Amino acid sequence: MLDLTTIKITQRDEQVLKLLVQGCSNKEIAAQLKISPRTVKQHLRTLFLRAGIRDGRKRVKLATAMFVKEQTNHATS
């Protein structure tokens, strides 16, 4: 599991990732956040680079880590 505390995640990155984890496409994420699909792609690319992620399976691990973090936050609030 990736340690999210070591990765710089902006508020917008987190919004994009939350929607990604919920199963939204880049186009759906863009519509919900009122940004272009290209901007969504750039947020994800930058985030993956910060996390040192180069392959698809690790991207799934990052999304899973975000999901677990979100579920933990909901359970404690």
Q: Specify the pLDDT at position 28.
A: 95
Which one, of 16, 32, 17, lies nearest residue 69 by Cα? 17
Q: How far apart are CA 15 and CA 9, in angstroms?
A: 10
Q: What does the pLDDT look like over 22-73, one tens digit per residue?
A: 889 999 999 999 999 999 999 988 888 887 777 766 666 766 776 677 667 6
State the DSSP H helix or E strand holding residue 17, giving kind and residue range, or none if neither: helix 11-21
Q: Specify the pLDDT at position 56.
A: 66
CB burial string 28-48: b at 16+ within 10 A, e below: ebbeebebeeebbeebbeebb
**Per the structure, how many domains does the chain have?**
1
**What's the CATH number where 68 sits?**
1.10.10.10
- Expressed as residue numbers, the domain containing 62 is 4-76
Q: Which tokens is 56 given?
A: 């698809």
Question: pLDDT higher for 1 or 20?
Answer: 20
Report the pLDDT averaged over residues 6-29.
87
pTM above 0.95, yes or no: no
